[in-house]
Amino acid sequence: MSTLRRKFVCQKCGFESIQWLGKCPNCSSWNSFAEEIESKQKLKSSRSKLENSRLVNLKSIDKTIDHSNLRFNTGFDEFDRVLGGGVIQGSVVLIAGDPGIGKSTLLLQVVSNLNEKVIYVTGEESIEQIKFRSTRLKIKNENLFILQETNLNNILHIIERENPKVVVIDSIQTIYNDLLEGAPGTIGQIRECTTYLMNLAKKENIAIFIIGHITKDGLIAGPKALEHIVDTVLQFSGEKNYSFRILRAIKNRFGSTNEIGIFEMHTDGLKEVANPSQVFLSEREYGASGTVVTPIIEGTRPILVEVQALVTPSNFGMPQRVTTGFDYRRLSILLAVLEKRLNYKLSQHNVFLNIAGGVEIDEPSADLAVCAAIVSSIKDIPADSLTCMVGEVGLSGEIRSVSNLETRIMEAEKLGFKKTIIPSQVLRSIVSKSKIEIVQCKNLTDAIKEILE
């Protein structure tokens, strides 16, 4: 016989208590206790429990794996790219994002393309609401079944009975285990429910997609252990004022975490963006000062984005520094370089920087374009609209080389740019292969003269 004992564990240091405490006496953390269930069984001396445990030689595993059925495609190329080439059978994928960003819409469209049996478990919407959404998305899949349930035991029983290939949990914050006294969405409930779902996925070889909420700080709601339990963590993000949505892998046991998928929200659902560079530059205004195009790399994909800068005189003692899609601290460094090395009095001006299209840049290759856009705005001189530039700017004003330069140049050439400004420390083979004009610059001064004059 086994007995269940409830305990409360501090999520910061692991301190255990028989009752909930507001403050941990061990690490002094507030509101860090979560309820857990502990099963106590008498240990037996019999070795019968080891009958199913065996050692397997690593070289012999390939002989038992059917690689042809290891992955399956969803029909969404952008979604499959982020996952590493398709969905792995028996994997657990967590998709998190802001409310209303389109998480449920994305997964409903993904599973609608599958020819296998799919169970969509909804805890936030009624069956009628799911039907209304599927009609709007024009989904006609006879293998898609909807289950309105929040009790974990009932969900597990139906999944084991129906044996689907894919299961969607929408969302994990609404599912509860009746063995726990905590309300749905608490740390203990989320961890226990996810653990049961993970064990079922591995046992029955079912791919499970879990939708999760995020907090106001942008972090995935629930315990940090939730990200360790699942196989893949996907972040679905996008600006509310833009129709573009970006799917990014934060953790992926079966693929790269550098790939992104880009979608555009329409009235009839999400559409894949096959050529994001062309879309991001479609509304570009030619002949305007303060705009420069730069190629960035997201995973293995090159994307051309427009860097917009606006520099205005400051009427107050403290000038403003506002950025959208670019690191604020990196902008402060580049402004200091422009003021020290090129003698621009930016300490008396407000600087507003925006990456058009809602894209976020987290690599230093856009430094050169940011500096050129700022100088173009303060001089009110338009940059050459058929020239793009790429390079990292050092503290002494030098331009440093970046990775995947050949891929960036090819993307600029494909979209009709005539000239590309790059660092001087690059291989000659990269320059000789390109059909567009390549200008190599050693420092920031030469690069800005090349694009503004």
pLDDT tens, residue order, the chain (453 aa): 456 677 888 877 778 888 888 999 988 888 888 777 665 444 344 444 555 667 878 777 765 555 556 888 988 899 999 998 899 999 999 999 888 899 999 999 999 888 889 999 999 899 999 999 999 998 888 899 999 999 999 999 999 999 999 999 998 999 999 887 778 887 778 888 999 999 999 999 999 999 998 877 667 776 677 888 999 999 998 876 678 888 989 999 998 887 888 899 988 899 998 888 888 887 788 888 999 999 999 877 899 999 999 999 988 778 999 999 999 999 999 999 999 999 998 988 999 999 988 788 989 999 999 999 999 999 999 999 999 999 999 999 999 999 888 889 989 998 999 999 999 887 666 666 778 899 999 999 999 999 987
* Same domain flag for 178 and 290: no
Chosen domain end from 274, 298, 327? 274
Q: Is residue 231 part of a domain?
A: yes
DSSP label of 43: -
Give me the pLDDT at residue 202, please. 93
Other Cβ atoms closer than 10 A to 28 = 10
Q: What is the extent of the structural domain holding 7?
A: 2-42
CA distance 377 to 332: 17
31 and 102 co-located in one domain: no
The number of residues making up the chain comes to: 453
DSSP H helices, 342-366, are none
Looking at 241, 274, 307, the residue that finishes a domain is: 274
Assess whether 187 and 260 both reside in one domain. Answer: yes
- Residue 56: inside a domain: no
| CA distance linking residue 97 with residue 234, whole number of Å | 9
Cα 34 from Cα 368, distance rounded (Å): 49
Asked whether residue 257 is assigned to any structural domain, the reply reads yes
Same domain, residue pair 429 and 330:
yes
Domain assignment of residue 61, yes or no: no
Amino acid 407 reads T
Of the candidates 446, 284, 291, 296, the residue with the CA atom closest to the CA atom of residue 373: 291
Shared domain for 298 and 447, answered yes or no, is yes
Q: Is residue 48 part of a domain?
A: no
One domain, residues 350 and 203: no
Distance CA 113, CA 143 (A): 10
Indicate whether 169 belongs to any domain.
Answer: yes
**Rounded-to-integer distance, Cα 183 and Cα 55, Å:** 41
Instruction: Count how many domains the chain has.
Output: 3
Residue with tokens 């050692």: 55
Task: Specify the CATH number for the domain of residue 180.
Answer: 3.40.50.300
The b-or-e profile of 46-58 (16+ CB within 10 A means b, else e) is: eeeeeeeeeeeee
The domain that holds 387 is classified in CATH as 3.30.230.10
Q: Are 133 and 107 in the same domain?
A: yes
Question: Long-range contacts for 5-14 (Cβ within 8 Å, ≥24 apart)?
Answer: 5/37, 5/38, 5/39, 5/40, 6/35, 6/36, 6/37, 6/38, 6/180, 6/181, 7/35, 7/36, 7/38, 8/33, 8/34, 8/35, 8/36, 9/33, 9/34, 9/36, 11/187, 11/223, 11/224
Instruction: Determine, yes or no, domain membership for 100.
Output: yes
Query: What is the SS3 assignment for 233?
Result: strand
66-78 burial string, b = 16+ CB within 10 Å, else e? eeeeebbebebeb
Res 237: pLDDT = 86
Q: Which of 274, 304, 333 is the last residue before a domain boundary?
A: 274
Q: Are residues 258 and 316 in the same domain?
A: no
Do both 261 and 285 map to the same domain?
no
In angstroms, rounded to a whole number, what is the distance separating the alpha carbons of residues 197 and 231? 12
pLDDT at 200: 95
Q: Are residues 210 and 98 in the same domain?
A: yes
User: Which amino acid, 382?
Assistant: P
Same domain, 268 and 298: no
Decide if 58 is inside a domain. Answer: no
Are both 223 and 334 inside the same structural domain? Answer: no
